[in-house]
Amino acid sequence: MKKVFSYQTAIGKLTVAENGEAITNLYFQEEAVPQDVIYEETELLREAGLQLTAYFAGDRKDFDLPFAPQGTVFMKQVWEALLTIPYGETRTYREIAEAIGSPTAVRAVGNANSKNPLSIFIPCHRVIGSKGELTGYLGGLKAKQFLLELEKRRKC
């Protein structure tokens, strides 16, 4: 049974879930949290909350937490590639497809990106369209813009 706890952030309430060993999901305010969870702030969730707070304050550029996102082998390949995008930088869907050795899988990369269960922790907000445009984001385009601007300001 997963445990979850919510944290208020600059982009709204974020709910983090864990399975007893690793962080499994991050839910945005607008997302439905599964009903079969226990609301309890564990040590791991507390640490995730502290790291999120530091990230939003501009004091943390990456996360040091155990993650266990659920997805296909391809999705996990994409998510691993997202973790290589440096703080404050962006990549296109095509660049991610090329990075994982599937240059024609641009749409599949976009699909995997949209199913990332650990947004912010696994920085799918750093992926943009081929012409530099912001594309869909589960937390909304305003949140994506905020995260990109936060990182750009604090990149130094």
pTM as predicted = 0.92
Tokens standing for 87? 């703080």
Q: Given this model, what pLDDT does residue 155 score?
A: 66
Give per-residue pLDDT as tens, 80-123: 999 999 999 999 999 999 999 999 999 999 999 999 999 999 99
In the predicted model, is pLDDT for residue 156 greater than 70? no
Strand positions, DSSP E, the chain:
3-9, 12-18, 23-28, 38-39, 91-92, 127-128
For the stretch 19-59, pLDDT in tens is 999 999 999 988 899 999 999 999 999 999 999 999 999 99
Indicate if 156 belongs to the active site.
no
CB atoms within 10 A of CB 74: 15
Helices and strands (H, E) in the chain, number of each type? 5, 6
Band of pLDDT at residue 132, cut at 50, 70 and 90: confident
Q: Look at 134 and 145; give whichever has higher pLDDT.
A: 145
Q: Which of 4, 52, 82, 124 is catalytic?
A: 124
